[in-house]
A and B are shown apart, each in its own frame.
Chain A
């Protein structure tokens, strides 16, 4: 093994350090933001959770379940992404130590097989990226149609970056094959490309090889730091997010402990209405339901950072598909956008102070909230087990219990339940009349 420590390595270490520093900083910020949410217990049944994570996040079971095309190519890019990272490990070592293809002499034929395999993957990833760019921009898949501005660009940027990174990887092998004395003939794909560069002189080739190498690794560093700002953050967040999935039947809504306590007191004939507040009164929520992101729980906020903006939820939403304003994808994107806004306030002032804006009304309108049928189609469709419905319900809880601002016909329904124990205005005494009718 030939060590060749020099200026290049110092530059590499600096780039590596900067990349890691900024990534950790942004990741830390996201972690802090998630923790602005309320605590919620989602770590019961750990065995089931690991199995679910293996199946849904690692195995992408929900991606391939419905539409085979998108599922297939997504798995391709994903496998490519993971395996090619093994090669990135080598690049890192080379960059730090000044070695050149450090694993090659160690692994021998296994190395050649592995790199050939990676090159095939790279080629397939290129195909997949082209297919995806086509689906997003040319024969636009319906669920991508209403993505505009940043969200639309974000998706394209990612695919474009992946494309160039893969080209750089192939270029690396192809130029190297023409460089004398380094015992590299190229691998399965790059060997085919090598003749294209055979006419170039050694100096140019060495420069091109170095350029491709640097481009590839700097591209990866840049990509890493692009993640926290992008929907592509799901490559990381999908795992903890799926691990924290709701395991109960999806129809089961949470029972609000605070409401339960109050109702118990109301119904208890022995309760002393003037009794001093219980000791745990301090833990009472500041408000019922959710008006802003801090009223949501941590899992809901983690959901927002895990959303891939794929729109599978919206494409299956009965309200959205019949032209209502509600879109579960928008609910998740709004939650993330508002959380980023809150994050900026905290960065600036050291803590959150009222900025005159809230998730409700400034991002999500009441009309959207009231259109939901709580049908769970969105939660079922989501490939990373996000639950947009729970946010809708929490915001309805705020509207009804804090603002008494339910949709008017719903108020009638609720008054009926309170007065005569049925959602319609029938007397409870008539409830058994059907028996003799």
Chain B
């Protein structure tokens, strides 16, 4: 299964004057976090399979500034944003796809005012489009008939109103979508947003990810689907905590699609 993935960088592409159709914004988690790197690779396999003309910034990419901004550090955010915009504009980027809802939100909503105007797409939307355009086709494979519950990432759902794209993908897998008590605009956060990922929670009765995982378990799913590397970590920890590690995988939708296609 370890097929070679092809990941051209923007620098290489620019050198041969072949700027791609779309930039894949990998994000910090996608670049460095061991779990999230698997999501990145799964998505690249899909891009390769569908022959998408894409590039990554590689070592020229840097944090969008999202966690700094949510923590209240507008200076750090602004410096990151301006540097990134300079790089993106130098490569004449028009269209960006990203696997991280936080990068998505920052790039799509907060960069335009600062001179970074791009069409930004979340990978669940992008994969949907590939399927609709017939550039990719899937059969349910190992997910056929399985119960999958989907955890809405705050920065995809409430923050940007994207609820259907990920759910459509679950349908394409021929799986049964089982909704949690609180879903879509009413969904409960996994506890990672607003820079919480990088600190211990304040004292309380319970950790938020435990609460959310319990809610997911109530649906008796075979899989928990995520669409954000941070939610993925939080839900994976929650599943570990309830001793279901091993028999209840938490997978990103990109991984599910790639697995179904045996990529």
Residues of A within 8 A of B (CB): 66, 248-253, 255-256, 259-260, 262-264, 266-267, 288-289, 316, 318-319, 321-326, 367, 370-377, 380, 393, 395-401, 406-407, 409-410, 412-414, 417-418, 421-424, 426, 428-435, 437
Give Cα A397 to B194, complex, Å: 13
Most interface-central of A316, A376, A406, A417 (chain B CB within 10 A): A417
Check if A255 sits within 8 Å of B110, measured CB to CB: yes
Of A252, A289, A401, A434, the contact of B37 (CB 8 Å cutoff): A434
Residues on A with C-beta less than 8 A from B238 are none
The answer to whether B31 and A417 touch across the interface, beta carbons within 8 angstroms, is no
Instruction: Tell me the bound Cα distance from A255 to B68 in angstroms.
Output: 13
CA distance A397 to B33 in the complex (A): 28
Given contacts A249-B105, A326-B202, 12 further A-B contacts (CB under 8 A): A251-B155, A252-B159, A267-B79, A289-B72, A322-B205, A371-B201, A374-B194, A375-B189, A421-B61, A421-B80, A430-B32, A432-B31
Q: A263-B82, A322-B206 are in contact. Are A423 and B193 (CB under 8 A)?
A: no
B residues near A262, Cβ cutoff 8 Å: 75
Partner of A435, one of B7, B28, B109, B197: B7
B72 touching A401, Cβ below 8 Å: yes
Kindly state whether residue B195 has any CB partner on chain A within 8 Å. Answer: yes
Q: Are B61 and A418 in contact (CB under 8 A)?
A: no
Report how far A417 CA is from B113 CA in the complex, Å: 22
The 8 A-B pairs with the shortest beta carbon distances in the complex, nearest first, are A251-B159, A323-B205, A396-B72, A421-B62, A374-B194, A323-B204, A252-B109, A375-B189
B78 within 8 A of A: yes
- Does B229 have its Cβ within 8 Å of any Cβ on chain A? no
Interface residues, chain B, with chain A CB atoms under 8 Å away: 5, 7, 9, 26, 28, 30-33, 37, 40-41, 56, 58-59, 61-63, 65, 67-76, 78-80, 82-83, 105, 108-110, 113-114, 154-155, 158-161, 185-186, 188-189, 191-208, 210-212
- 28 A-B pairs with CB atoms under 8 Å apart are A249-B105, A250-B159, A251-B159, A267-B82, A318-B189, A322-B201, A322-B205, A322-B206, A322-B210, A324-B201, A370-B199, A372-B194, A373-B189, A373-B208, A374-B70, A377-B186, A380-B158, A398-B72, A414-B73, A421-B80, A422-B31, A422-B63, A424-B28, A424-B33, A429-B59, A430-B32, A432-B58, A432-B59
- From A367, A422, A434, give the contact of B41 (CB < 8 A): A434
Q: Is the CB of B74 within 8 A of A322?
A: no
A405 to chain B, nearest CB (A): 10
Please state if B105 and A251 are interface contacts (CB–CB under 8 Å). Answer: yes
Q: Cβ of A422 and Cβ of B9 under 8 Å apart? A: no
A260→B78 contact, CB < 8 A: yes
Given A248-B109, A429-B59, A375 and B194 contact (CB-CB distance below 8 Å)? yes
Check A401/B70 contact, CB under 8 A, given A322-B211, A323-B206, A409-B200. Answer: no
Residues of B within 8 A of A66 (CB): 186
Report whether B208 and A400 are in contact in the complex, using a CB–CB cutoff of 8 Å. no
- The residue on B at minimum CB distance from A407 is B199
Are A422 and B189 CB-contacts (below 8 A) given A249-B160, A413-B195? no
List the A side residues contacting B211 at CB < 8 Å. 318, 321-322
| Contacting residues, chain A, for B194 (C-beta < 8 A) | 372-375
Q: Are B75 and A401 in contact (CB under 8 A)?
A: yes
A421 to B83, CA, bound (A): 10
Residues in B neighbouring A395, C-beta threshold 8 A: 72
**Contact yes or no, A435 B5, CB < 8 A:** yes
Q: Which of B5, B32, B72, B185 has the most CB of A within 10 A?
A: B72
Q: What are the residues of chain B within 8 A of A371 when measuring CB–CB?
A: 201-202, 204
Contacts of B76 in A (CB 8 A): 414, 417-418
> Are B204 and A413 closer than 8 Å at their CB atoms?
no
The answer to whether A431 touches B198 (Cβ under 8 A) is no
How far does the Cβ of B116 sit from chain A's closest Cβ, in whole Å?
Answer: 11
CA distance A205 to B79 in the complex (A): 78
Let me know if A375 and B40 touch, CB within 8 A.
Answer: no
In the complex, what's the smallest C-beta–C-beta distance from A434 to chain B, in angstroms?
5
| CB of B28 to closest CB in A, whole Å | 4
Interfacial chain B residues near A431, Cβ < 8 Å: 31-32, 58-59, 61-62
A255 touches B114 (CB 8 A): yes
C-alpha spacing A373/B67, complex, angstroms: 11
CA distance A288 to B74 in the complex (A): 9
A437 to B73, CA, bound (A): 33
Chain A residues contacting B67 (CB-CB under 8 Å) are: 413-414, 417, 423
Q: Smallest distance from the beta carbon of B84 to chain A beta carbons, Å? A: 9
- Report chain A residues within 8 Å CB of B191: 318, 373
Pairwise interchain contact A400-B202, C-beta atoms closer than 8 A? no
Nearest B residue (CB) for A381: B186
Shortest C-beta distance, B157 to chain A (Å), equals 9
User: Which residue of chain B has its CB nearest to the CB of A258?
Assistant: B74
Chain A residues with CB under 8 Å of B105's CB are 249, 251-252
Contact of B40 among A370, A400, A401, A434 (CB under 8 A): A434
- Closest chain-A Cβ to B21's Cβ sits at a distance in Å of 19
Contact (Cβ within 8 A) A249 B186? no
Does the CB pair A410–B195 fall under 8 Å?
yes
Nearest opposing residue in chain A for B203, CB measure: A324
Task: Please determine whether A413 and B72 come into contact, CB atoms closer than 8 angstroms.
Answer: no
Q: A263-B79, A401-B73, A431-B31 given as contacts; is B68 within 8 A of A409 (CB)?
A: no
